[in-house]
Amino acid sequence: EVQLVESGGGLVKPGGSLRLSCSASGFTFNNYGMAWVRQAPGKGPEWVSSISHSSSFIFYADAVKGRFTASRDNAKNSIYLQMNSLSDGDTAVYYCVRSPSSGVYDVFDNWGQGTMVTVSS
């Protein structure tokens, strides 16, 4: 069974930083592209970043480009999202999601339970 478990969320002040982690199991991790998708309270999902299976390709939404950095460690079956210069617009549940291919241009077939990030003074 595919499992994606996020951690690292919490309350942070504007301008602060946070690092999210996602631990994956139940599939051959280094064969799959992964992504981060966030959902602000009462809103629909918003794509944040995608990373290909070997980290050769990493893409970001304009709203986070230059502030967020996605990475992965295939030896640890994990992906990460380093978030800097956070603002209240970044308040959301952040989901770790899997794409059923090695690249990024694909469906999101499995989602984690999400981790809440709240940016507030």
Partner 1 sequence: EIVLTQSPDFQSVTLKEKLTITCRASQSIGSRLHWYQQKPDQSPKLLIKFASQSISGVPSRFSGSGSGTDFTLTINGLEAEDAAAYYCHQSDTLPFTFGPGTKVDIK
Q: Which residues bind partner 1 (CB under 8 A)?
A: 44-47, 50, 59, 61-62, 95, 105-114
Q: Nearer to partner 1 by C-beta: 8 or 16?
A: 8
Output the smallest distance, CB 107 to partner 1, in A: 4
Output the smallest distance, CB 67 to partner 1, in A: 15
Q: Nearer to partner 1 by C-beta: 85 or 113?
A: 113
Q: What DSSP line would sit under 16-72, residue for residue?
A: --EEEEEEEESS-GGGSEEEEEEE-TTS-EEEEEEE-TTSS-EEE-TTTTTTEEEEE
- The C-alpha atoms of residue 99 and residue 97 are separated, in whole angstroms, by 7
- The C-alpha atoms of residue 98 and residue 84 are separated, in whole angstroms, by 24
Output the smallest distance, CB 36 to partner 1, in A: 11
Output the smallest distance, CB 4 to partner 1, in A: 9
Q: Nearer to partner 1 by C-beta: 14 or 60?
A: 60
User: Which H or E run includes 77?
Assistant: none
Q: Considering only CA atoms, which of 43, 32, 40, 41 is closest in space to residue 97? A: 32
Q: Nearer to partner 1 by C-beta: 81 or 112?
A: 112
